[in-house]
């Protein structure tokens, strides 16, 4: 009998291999990530039963962003905090749902990582059975910063992330993550509760077929963004683009990672920084995009170079394939011609 089938690799095995990139971490990094895999399994189980156990609908509390918190937002946040605060190596947790970062293991000098997360992204889609997700970013405690200053742990540019990823609770549950060594995807086998390597070394196609943006706001985008969307539609980049927009960033990005193309959340006059949050939405996605051969900018700058000033700060986001982003940078950032200025 031959044994030619591909080996089955779980996320834990994969992390143990990746861990060799962090000398001296002796298991603590895989223990940390297992907190995330555990929490996201619990969240997905609840999401899968959302219509059954009265978890649907708004909880009625307003979160720090001024939006109505959904019950599942609250549950997901609690589960992540419960799972991650059991890890001694984590000193600080920061979440979309909490105004301030949470200090855990106060006094423990072993604590040297911060985890920043959006516990449930796209939560307005829950009520209609559309994909939602969790995004996370892991940072190392900066040299010389004490346990009494959790803000400083997390206000670091995205380029300093040592790992980042997301989980999409879609038609299947998939975990996608990177420790700076390529991007790998693990599909949850719900019958055994294990994330199994299904997408090794993910690469974003050089160019795609779709653009992804909330087109209802188009009239409020800067004129150059509007013209860029016209270029995508009118074949300037070689073919006429179709559009896809789910309204869960994590799901829209996941499609862009697999199929290529471009996802945009542009600035508007009313919201000059767009809607998405830098630390736990744009940064993890930008890290993964670059690791997969794509590009992520805030309209002018590389997302990963932005020095954050506050935990919940927003940023415009343009992320996607090399070809679409190169055209954006050429067309949108080039000095405006007198004609273009006249027509605006």
Q: Which residues bind ligand AHG (CB under 6 A)?
A: 67, 96, 118, 121-123, 214, 247-249, 275
CA-nearest of 133, 117, 136, 115 to 125 is 133
Q: Yes or no: say if 128 and 122 are a contact pair by the CB < 8 Å rule.
A: no
Residues 6+ away with beta carbon under 8 Å from 172: 187, 188
> Between residues 121 and 298, which has the closer beta carbon with respect to Mn ion?
121
**Minimum Å distance from CB 249 to ligand AHG?**
3
> Between residues 119 and 294, which has the closer beta carbon with respect to ligand AHG?
119
Tokens of 101: 């970062």
| Cα dihedral: 329, 134, 189, 27 (round 10) | 90
Binding partner at 305 among Mn ion, ligand AHG, none, C-beta below 5 to 8 Å by kind: none
> Between residues 248 and 256, which has the closer beta carbon with respect to ligand AHG?
248
**Minimum Å distance from CB 52 to Mn ion?**
22
Based on the shown chain and the rule CB under 5 A, indicate whether residue 28 belongs to the binding site for Mn ion.
Answer: no
Site for Mn ion in 90-109 (CB under 5 A): 96
Q: Yes or no: say if 109 and 88 are a contact pair by the CB < 8 Å rule.
A: no
**Minimum Å distance from CB 287 to ligand AHG?**
17
> Between residues 96 and 290, which has the closer beta carbon with respect to Mn ion?
96
> Between residues 70 and 178, which has the closer beta carbon with respect to ligand AHG?
70
| Cα dihedral: 314, 320, 323, 326 (round 10) | 10
Whether the CA torsion 278, 280, 282, 284 is positive or negative: it is positive
Quote the CA–CA distance of 60 and 37 in Å, as a whole number. 29
Q: Yes or no: say if 95 and 150 are a contact pair by the CB < 8 Å rule.
A: no
**Minimum Å distance from CB 270 to ligand AHG?**
12
Tokens of 64: 């720090």
**Minimum Å distance from CB 153 to Mn ion?**
21
Binding partner at 214 among ligand AHG, Mn ion, none, C-beta below 5 to 8 Å by kind: ligand AHG
In this chain, which of 118, 290, 298, 324 binds Mn ion, going by CB under 5 A?
118
**Minimum Å distance from CB 67 to ligand AHG?**
6
> Between residues 80 and 179, which has the closer beta carbon with respect to ligand AHG?
80
Residues 6+ away with beta carbon under 8 Å from 52: none
At residue 161, what are phi and psi to the nearest 5 degrees? -60, 135
In this chain, which of 44, 101, 111, 121 binds Mn ion, going by CB under 5 A?
121
> Between residues 205 and 266, which has the closer beta carbon with respect to Mn ion?
266
- The number of residues in the chain equals 344
Three-class SS state of 16: helix
Q: Which stretch binds Mn ion (CB under 5 A): 110-118, 176-184, 210-218, 288-296?
A: 110-118
Among all residues, whose Cβ is closest to Mn ion? 121
Based on the shown chain and the rule CB under 5 A, indicate whether residue 327 belongs to the binding site for Mn ion.
Answer: no
Three-class SS state of 278: helix
Based on the shown chain and the rule CB under 5 A, indicate whether residue 252 belongs to the binding site for Mn ion.
Answer: no
**Minimum Å distance from CB 118 to Mn ion?**
4
Based on the shown chain and the rule CB under 5 A, indicate whether residue 324 belongs to the binding site for Mn ion.
Answer: no
User: Directed axis angle between helix 71-84 and helix 28-48, to 10°?
Assistant: 160
Residue 23 burial (CB count, 10 A): 7
No. of helices (H) and no. of strands (E), the chain:
9, 15
> Between residues 197 and 317, which has the closer beta carbon with respect to ligand AHG?
317
**Minimum Å distance from CB 247 to ligand AHG?**
5
The site for Mn ion (CB under 5 A) is made up of 96, 118, 120-121
């Amino acid at each position: 009998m031959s044994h030619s089938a591909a080996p089955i690799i779980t996320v834990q095995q994969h992390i143990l291999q990746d861990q060799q990139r962090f000398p001296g971490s002796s298991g603590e990094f895989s223990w940390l990530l297992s907190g995330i895999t555990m929490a996201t399994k619990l969240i997905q189980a609840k999401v899968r039963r959302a219509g059954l156990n009265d978890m649907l609908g708004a909880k009625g509390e307003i979160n720090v962003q001024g939006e109505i918190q959904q019950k599942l937002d609250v549950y997901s946040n609690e589960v992540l905090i419960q799972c991650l605060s059991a890890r001694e190596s984590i000193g600080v947790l920061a979440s979309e749902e909490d105004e301030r970062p949470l200090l855990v293991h106060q006094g423990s000098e072993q604590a040297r990582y911060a985890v920043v997360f959006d516990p449930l992204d796209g939560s307005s889609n829950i009520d209609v059975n559309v994909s939602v997700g969790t995004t996370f970013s892991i940072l190392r405690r900066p040299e010389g910063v004490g346990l009494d200053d959790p803000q400083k742990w997390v206000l670091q540019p995205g380029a300093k992330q040592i790992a980042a990823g997301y989980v999409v609770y879609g038609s299947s549950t998939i975990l996608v993550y990177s420790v700076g060594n390529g991007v790998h995807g693990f599909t949850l086998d719900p019958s055994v509760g294990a994330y199994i390597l299904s997408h090794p070394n993910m690469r974003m196609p050089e160019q795609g077929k779709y653009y992804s943006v909330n087109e209802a706001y188009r009239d409020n985008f800067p004129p150059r963004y509007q013209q860029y969307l016209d270029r995508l539609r009118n074949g300037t980049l070689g073919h006429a683009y179709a559009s896809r927009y789910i309204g869960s960033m994590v799901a829209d990005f996941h499609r862009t990672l697999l199929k290529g193309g471009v996802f945009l959340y542009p600035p508007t006059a009313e919201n000059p920084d767009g809607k998405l949050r830098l630390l736990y939405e744009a940064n993890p996605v930008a890290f993964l995009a670059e690791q997969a051969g794509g590009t992520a900018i805030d309209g002018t700058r590389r997302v990963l170079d932005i020095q954050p000033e506050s935990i919940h700060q927003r940023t415009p986001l343009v992320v996607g394939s090399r070809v679409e982003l190169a055209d954006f940078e050429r067309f949108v950032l080039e000095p405006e011609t007198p004609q273009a200025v006249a027509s605006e």
